[in-house]
Amino acid sequence: MGGCDGRVALVTGASRGIGAAIAQRLASDGAAVAVTARTLDEHPTLAGSLRDTVAAVESVGGKAVAIAADVSDADDRARIVPEVEAALGSVDILVNNAAAAFYLPTADFPLKRRRLSFELNVHAPLDLAQAVLPGMRARGDGWIVNVSSATSKHPKGPPFDPGIALGGITTIYGASKAALERVTTGLAAEVHGDGIAVNSLAPVAAVRTPGAEAHIGKVMDAHPEIVEPVEVIAEAALALATCDPATLTGRILYSGPFLAELNRKPRTLDGTEVASA
């Protein structure tokens, strides 16, 4: 029996990478999982799709449904939670993983991309949280995990590191994730009396996913010490999706140190064994 038995989870950005891994790990612990992203079928350049994630969950006996939606579009994302509820029931666990990251100098950052960054990284998680909160409040429990980034940290200096945040220019991305973290802690305080945990989770540095390979693959190859196995953040997300909301909420957490705090080893995505380092 897993801690997620009988619960319904919604994971955004789950066609590949971190989102797909978290969906698989939650399902292996007993959750029925709804996965959403734009890519229902194969992407033209990146490996992975919602159908692949559903197949991976079902291959180990789990239950998953795919909902193709553009989370950056307010009207499109407004239908996600009602569709999950119709297919699986009320959402117990929300994992806001979908994100937009553009590595550009702030002086040259187009307004269109800036708006998209905040729409996807801040407004979408908040809208989805608002959509699931009534059900969570009615039941008296719930878990919201907002996937953030170490780029939310303020750069140290002067002098400043010329290779800020893995060699990329991440000011706008980091600002949007800092906003998400402030939403996380504020919402946690507001719903603490309702038995709902709201936490932020980020990898310490990089996770080798198809998207990361496309953006910072060369940096990860040159600095393998900063690369974290995807099983680490997936295990940390599961821990936050099964925690005691009375005592573990309003935290800005990093997956590796958080698992160390719990003295918990990451397991394979199917949950059957301890993952290799």
pLDDT given at position 77: 97
Marked catalytic residue, from 72, 152, 173, 255: 173
Domain membership of residue 57 (yes or no) is yes
CA distances 218 to 198, 213, 249, 257, Å, are: 34, 8, 36, 25
CA distances 125 to 68, 80, 177, 266, 270, Å, are: 16, 12, 11, 26, 26
Domain membership of residue 178 (yes or no) is yes
Q: Would you call 268 helix, strand, or coil by DSSP?
A: coil
Domain membership of residue 245 (yes or no) is yes
Q: Quick check: is 254 catalytic?
A: no
Domain count, the chain: 1
Residues 6+ apart with CB under 8 A from 127: 74, 77, 78
Sign (positive or negative) of CA dihedral 164, 173, 34, 246: positive
Domain membership of residue 168 (yes or no) is yes
Q: Quick check: is 149 catalytic?
A: no
Ramachandran region, residue 271 (left: φ > 0; alpha: ψ -120 to 50; beta: rest): left
What values do phi and psi take at 219, rounded to 5?
A: -65, -40
Domain membership of residue 25 (yes or no) is yes
Q: Would you call 43 helix, strand, or coil by DSSP?
A: coil
Domain membership of residue 276 (yes or no) is no
Which residue stretches of the chain are H helix? Answer: 17-28, 50-59, 74-77, 80-87, 111-118, 124-139, 164-167, 171-191, 210-222, 230-241, 255-262
Nearest to 129 by CA among 185, 178, 170, 176: 185
**ω into 158 cis (within 30 of 0):** yes
- How many Å apart are CA 171 and CA 105, to the nearest integer? 8
Marked catalytic residue, from 72, 148, 152, 200: 148
Q: Would you call 209 helix, strand, or coil by DSSP?
A: coil
Domain membership of residue 55 (yes or no) is yes
Domain containing 105 equals: 8-262
- How many Å apart are CA 254 and CA 16, to the nearest integer? 20
Give the predicted TM-score (pTM) of the model. Answer: 0.94
pLDDT given at position 129: 98
CATH number of the domain within which 116 lies: 3.40.50.720
Domain membership of residue 273 (yes or no) is no
CB atoms inside a 10 Å sphere around CB 90: 16
**ω into 257 cis (within 30 of 0):** no
Marked catalytic residue, from 15, 177, 200, 254: 177
pLDDT tens, N- to C-terminus, the chain (277 residues): 689 999 999 999 999 999 999 999 999 999 999 999 998 987 766 778 999 999 999 998 999 999 999 999 999 999 999 999 999 999 999 999 999 999 888 999 999 999 999 999 999 999 999 999 999 999 999 999 999 999 999 988 888 877 664 446 889 999 999 999 999 999 999 999 999 999 999 998 778 665 555 555 566 566 666 689 999 999 999 999 999 999 999 999 999 999 999 999 999 999 999 997 6
pLDDT given at position 196: 98
CB atoms inside a 10 Å sphere around CB 265: 14
